[in-house]
Amino acid sequence: MSTKNQRIKATLKDTKERHKQMMCRVYTVKLDRSHLNQDSLTHLKHLFLEAKWLYNYCVGHPGVFSIDDKITAVSVKVKDQFERRQLRHLSSHMRQSIITRTQQNIRSLARAKAKGHTVGRLKFKSYVNSIPLKQYGNTYKLINRKYLQIQRIPQKLRVNGLEQLPSNCECANATLLHQHGDYYVAITTYTPREHRPAMVVPAQSIGIDFGVKHQLTLSNGVRIQYKVPVTRRIKQLCKKLSRHQHRSRNWWKTLYKLLKVYAKTTNIKRDIRNKLVHYLHTNFQMVCYQKENLGAWQRLWGRRMLSTSLGGIIGMLEVKVPTPVEVDRFFPSTKSCSRCGHQRAMSLAERTYVCHICGLVIDRDYNSSCVLEQEGHRILGRGPTEVTPAETNTSTLALEYLNQIAYVKASMVAETGSLTALA
């Protein structure tokens, strides 16, 4: 091995070790289309077109692990025949990154298959939305915290959002994105770690009952409802899109407008999800919940489920909460009494649980959340626990925080009409 290659490998190793001691964050910035000339727009369009050609060529190639990263032309299927297309806009680093990413995807599928999972194969794509920019300073670089230079594009690209990057950050790789007609760059940065005191989470537990009518009911008596409905603008664009000829120029214009509106709605639901999970993982050490069959809910109440993001909340609880406790899906939390444990059948129309043994009269969802918290303690071997509502001042502070979130309405269970719910 030559001295130059040894020096490069040593530098890369030192960089990786240094980055392990730093904090990694990804910032997404947007290219300003109003400052792009026609040549740059055409170049960006051809970048993603050639990326699709190269990716499909790799997927269909029998010797995908032997493809030369310096390839300059690929075979593209046009109707019933193949044509040879030149890769004039993708740089060598971009081509190498796309080939490497495809190979890594195949290896990941092979590892999953070796573990016994049922996997398929990589499919051909009609479009590619991301292109890796693997090396800062060569594939791309920042200029004066205002412009961005991408390899093989002569123009300096005006970028919005670079001011959010810390002044002491170290830029690494990035990804060029094409989303709903606009171009973005997701930049990976490394900054020195700040020594902050560890967050102290109160040693409390809580149970959560998920539902369609009331999204979250907590065992401390707080009920959370939210809904981000389908806007009138979405309905108008869907109707307009159906009238255009498929894949025509007007069809693509309308589709990009529709995707932008959908992206705004998705961002609102993501914001709600993050703030709700933040409240739970900063105030409770143990969170008990039941893994619901959201697929069946989607088939039964599709429109009502579309306006929420319950699946995302459950997924984040598994990662963010210090001690998440998942109760079995078939555990009869709705049928059980939270006071004596007696079980009785209930229909969906019954919103109040009445125990015929101990005489408990309680809200249906609140009873279920209390039962889930008790079952969570049993699973962890902590023995039976008496679930009682939180103090009034604690619940009041929770309501103040939750009601500040857009589209969220939080209230106590007793306020909804079940006057004996918290008795």
Could you report the per-residue pLDDT of 131-163, keeping only the tens digit for each?
999 999 999 999 988 999 999 999 999 999 999
Torsion of CA 402, 292, 416, 207, to 10 degrees: -60
Q: Are residues 152 and 239 both part of a single domain?
A: no
- One domain, residues 162 and 210: no
- What per-residue confidence (pLDDT) applies to 386? 57
What CA–CA distance (Å, rounded) separates 237 from 241? 6
Query: How do strand 130-133 and strand 205-210 relate by DSSP bridges?
Result: unpaired
pLDDT for position 2:
65
Q: Residue 385: its pLDDT value, please? A: 59
Last residue of a domain, one of 192, 224, 242: 192
Do 167 and 244 sit in the same domain of this protein?
no
Asked, for residue 6, whether it belongs to a domain, the answer is no
Asked which of 192, 219, 248 is the last residue of a domain, the reply is 192
pLDDT at 71: 92
Regarding whether 230 and 164 lie in a shared domain, the answer is no
Query: Is 229 part of a structural domain of the chain?
Result: yes
Q: Note the pLDDT of residue 302.
A: 79
Alpha helix stretches (DSSP H) within 185-333: 232-243, 249-283, 294-300, 302-306, 310-320
- 23 with 89, same domain? yes
Considering the domain boundaries, does residue 197 fall inside one? no
DSSP string, 54-81: HHHHHHH-TTGGG--TT--EEEEEETTE
Residue at 357 is within a domain: yes
- Cα separation, 306 vs 294, in Å, equals 11
User: Which residues are registered as beta bridge partners of 135?
Assistant: none
Residue 423 lies in a domain: no
Domain-terminating residue out of 162, 192, 222: 192
Query: Is the domain of 60 the same as that of 137?
Result: yes
In a domain, 198, yes or no: no
Structure tokens that stand for 48 in this block: 């993603």
Residues 37, 131, single domain; the answer is: yes
Residues 298 and 227 in one domain: yes
The tally of domains found in the chain comes to 2
Quote the domain boundaries for residue 72. 16-192
Which two tokens mark 112?
């999953």
pLDDT, residue 100, reads: 95
200 lies in a domain? no
Same domain? 211 vs 166 = no
Closest Cα partner for 185 from 341, 27, 401, 384?
27
Query: Considering the domain boundaries, does residue 11 fall inside one?
Result: no
Query: Which helix (H) or strand (E) element contains residue 186?
Result: strand 182-192
Residue 158 shares a structural domain with residue 127 = yes
The answer on 210 and 336 residing in a single domain is: yes
Residue spans of the chain under pLDDT 70: 1-2, 4-6, 8-9, 12, 196, 198-201, 383-395, 414-423
Residue-level pLDDT at 300: 83
Same domain assignment for residues 297 and 391: yes
